[in-house]
Each structure stands twice: as structure tokens, then as C-alpha cells.
Amino acid sequence: MNRSRLEPLGVPASEYAYDAAERKSRQPTALDRWLVRQIRERYGDDPVRLALWDEPDVTPRPGTAIVRVLDSKALLQLVMNPELHFGDLYSAGRIDVRGDLLTVLGVAYQAHAEKSKLRRWLDRGRQFAAPDLHESRRNIHHHYDIGNRFYELWLDREALQYTCAYYPTAEATLEEAQQAKMHHVARKLRLRPGERVVEAGGGWGGFALFMAKNYGVKVRSFNISKEQIAYAREWAKRQSLQDSVEFIEDDYRNVSGEHDVFVSIGMLEHVGAGNYRELGRVASRALTKNGRGLIHSIGRDKPAPLNPWIDKRIFPGAYPPTLREMMEIFEPNGFSVLDVENIRLHYAKTLEGWLERYEQNVEAVRSMFDEAFVRAWRLYLTGSIAAFVHGNLQLFQVLFARTGDNSIPWTRAHVYGGG
């Protein structure tokens, strides 16, 4: 299970020299000090202060943080492209954070909002990306096939949901909130016993098995992650649900057959905006006349590409769409949007739950991977909390049916126990 050093992240090993003593022996140059002054003039030093390796390593007062840059080259990289390089430098231990990492990332997200128009324009290409099947497989393999054991360490223990949970109350546990999320989606879709559900992007199978068990439906679940499919099939057998749930190792574009319900939780982020119309076509082809569907996805209030470091190291090819962009799934394919819910804050809370367990099990992670991996995932989870708290990311659930279908529910009261 122990992976070769850094392989999952793809960072060249030469970047990871932990000889801090050697680096610290060198004194900062005039250029180093000038760069630090520039940064402090622009961003201030409260609540986050930039420090070089020659300063004493002190504990910051509560609510503030110190970002310690530990060599000249790291400083230069940070200045040139902080969004891309901070992640690698932090992972490699060439940048350290004293105090709360979340504070640092919150400040970074606020600074990000001031990004130049030129940069936004340069980023636009991403919005039209349409990965083909080969690219999709490579992207999905990068993230989801790094070991089921790893995800088991910090996801909920009952359904292994690697998507936003739903907290009916602030006191709900991660397990309760993931169960509530699945019920929430199932109620929105009004699942009835015997119905045929097709799932696009089924993860480790937790939701497919949940629907079969709790709502008596037949599920066909598509996924291109080999490791997840193997896990899901095994899990179905353990629960004796292999007759109700079929796990199919194939792409959403190859969905076939007729279904009452189309559901996709957390796959759209990997589809690419250029493929949305086709995704809608697939849903339309897959559904009966009175079929209905739900797409649950990370999104944005304004178009923007994913953070470049997350794109490079964590989620290659991922793109969180705006609601306007998502309409390309529905509008050209004869669908009517019935309900959109934005549960952004639930994702911040979900990620807090994941991060807490991640830290509780960090020794187990360390035994599987190396320190750079441990730090990279800490940064990714913490940065994602900051993004959802600050509104850089949203979470949309979009319920839809065919235009003119009058079998749709009259109100949404049934989702909340009424109706």
C-alpha cells in the first residue's frame, strides 16, 4: 500500500530537500528583503505576516498567523505565482505556517478576489474545456485511485461519501449528515420502490447502495475509477444488494437504457464545461417521459478556473461551473429546472469534519505516503474550507424534469416531512 515517494502528487523529488539546517545557514539577500517589503506593503502583516528563515520562530497571537518562507527560491516562486506555488512549497516544507492555516487561506481567498482582469481573461480557456474519454480516465485515476484505504481514514464510515453532506442541525455528526444528504436527494427525487435509477459518477457506491436499501429502487451506477468500482462491487456483495445495484465501469457518455431517475452527485466538476450539453443529452436519452434528475455539484457565483495548484496536484481538469454555465445541460435538452438549492456552508462543515479525522489519522496517512503528501492534503482540505466559507465556491443541487411534465410535485413540502 505504501506508494513511491510523491508519486500521487507528481512533484519532482528534487524539489523536496528537507535540509532546513543548510538553508537556514544562508542569510537573506537584499533582494529577499526587498521582496518581503513589497508583499508587506501590498497585503499588510495583520492577521497574516510573512517571515524569512532568519527570523526567530515564534508563536503568533491567537487569530493571526505567520507564513515562514525557508529559502530564497521559495520566496521568488511565491511572489511570481502564489496560487500555483504556495501549495507545492507548503507541501515540500519550504514554507511553514505558524498559527492557523485556515486564517492564511482565508486571507489568500480575499486577495484572490482582487485578481487582475488580464489574469481572468487568460484563465477563460478553462471554461470551454471538454475532456475526452481518455483525458477523463487519466484525471479520475489521478485523484480517486490513490487507495481506498486512504479515503476510509477520514470520510464518513457508513457510506464513504466524498461529496458535500447536509446538516439538518449543527450538532449532526459527519455520518448523520451524509445520511441526511442522501435522504435529502432521494426525497427531492421522490424515489419510489421498483423505480430504475441511473447514477453518473458513483464513487465507492455508497449512495447507490443507500438508495437500493432505503428506497427499494434498482440502481445502475457508472464510474470510470477502477479502484472505486472494485470496492463498490465488493461492498454490494457484503450487503447482499448485488441484484439491486449494478456497478458499471464506464463513462457517463456511455449510459444506456431507460430509467425513471438520473442522478449525479459530485461528478459535474470533472465533466468540463464543453461537455455539459452532451451530459444533458445523455440524461435526456436515459430518462422516460416523466423521468426526473438531480445534479449536485461544486459551483461558482462568477466564472473562474479552479485554483491552479489544486488543478495541478489534486484535481486535474476539474472546473466548478456557475449556475448560468450549468444551464447548458438543461436548456438545449428540453429540461425544466424545478429547484436549485445552494448549500455552500454545508460543504465548509463537511470539510471541517474530514480535516478533523484526517488529523486524527495523520500517522496512518504518513505510513502510506510521505510528508509532502500529508501536507498537501492538509492544505487542500483547509483551503477548501476557506473557499466555501468565503464564497469562492458554492454547492448547487439542481432538480429537473422534462419541460411540460405535469407529474412533478406540487410543492417542496415533501422534502421537509410535509406534503
Q: Does 276 interact with its own copies (rule: CB under 8 A)?
A: no
Distance CA 41, CA 19 (A): 31
Q: Smaller CB distance to its own copies: residue 177 or 365?
A: 177
Interacting stretch for its own copies, rule CB under 8 A, among 135-143, 207-215, 281-289, 330-338?
330-338
Distance CA 268, CA 249 (A): 17
* Helix (H/G/I), strand (E/B), else coil: 275: helix
Total binding residues toward its own copies, as defined by CB under 8 A:
44
Encoded amino acid at 317, one letter: G
Q: Smaller CB distance to its own copies: residue 63 or 332?
A: 332
Smallest separation, CB 156 to its own copies (Å):
19
Q: With contact defined as beta carbons under 8 Å apart, do 221 and 199 qualify?
A: yes
Smallest separation, CB 407 to its own copies (Å):
10
Q: Does 288 interact with its own copies (rule: CB under 8 A)?
A: no
Which runs of E-coded beta strand occur in 325-383? 335-342
Distance CA 255, CA 249 (A): 11
Distance CA 155, CA 206 (A): 11
Which runs of E-coded beta strand occur in 3-104? 48-52, 65-69, 95-99
Please state, as a whole number, how many other Cβ atoms lie within 10 Å of the Cβ of residue 57.
10
- Indicate which single residue of 111, 340, 364, 368 sits in contact with its own copies (rule: CB under 8 A): 340
Q: Smaller CB distance to its own copies: residue 56 or 418?
A: 418
Smallest separation, CB 154 to its own copies (Å):
23
Q: Does 337 interact with its own copies (rule: CB under 8 A)?
A: yes
Which runs of E-coded beta strand occur in 100-213? 196-200
Distance CA 182, CA 30 (A): 57
Residue span 159-178 as binding mask against its own copies, x where in contact by CB under 8 A, dash where not: -------xxx-x--------
Backbone angles phi, psi at 16, to 5 degrees: -110, 65
Smallest separation, CB 404 to its own copies (Å):
3
Q: Does 404 interact with its own copies (rule: CB under 8 A)?
A: yes
Distance CA 79, CA 275 (A): 35
Q: Smaller CB distance to its own copies: residue 34 or 416?
A: 416
Smallest separation, CB 268 to its own copies (Å):
16
Q: Smaller CB distance to its own copies: residue 216 or 391?
A: 391
Q: Which residues bind its own copies (CB under 8 A)?
A: 166-168, 170, 301-302, 322-324, 327, 330-332, 334-346, 389-392, 394, 403-406, 408, 410-413, 415-418
